[in-house]
Amino acid sequence: MRQTVSPAARRRDLIALLILAAGAIVASYGYLGLHHMAALPIVRVRGQTAMARAIGYTNIVRTGWAVIAIGIAAVVWSFVANRKSAGPTD
Higher-scoring residue by pLDDT: 63, 80: 63
Q: What is the pLDDT of residue 32?
A: 94
What would the mean pLDDT of 50-69 be, rounded to a whole number?
Answer: 92
Q: Let me know the angle formed at the C-alpha of 24 by 50 and 7, rounded to the nearest 5 degrees.
A: 150
What would the mean pLDDT of 71-85 be, rounded to a whole number?
Answer: 86
Give pLDDT tens digits for 10-51. 888 899 999 999 999 999 999 999 999 888 777 766 667 888
Q: Provide the percentage of residues in the chain whose pLDDT is more than 70.
A: 84
The amino acid occupying position 10 is R
Q: Let me know the angle formed at the C-alpha of 30 by 28 and 34, rounded to the nearest 5 degrees.
A: 115
The amino acid occupying position 44 is R
pTM tops 0.85, yes or no: no
Is residue 59's pLDDT more than 90?
yes
The amino acid occupying position 27 is A
Domain boundaries, the chain: 17-84
Is residue 70's pLDDT more than 50?
yes
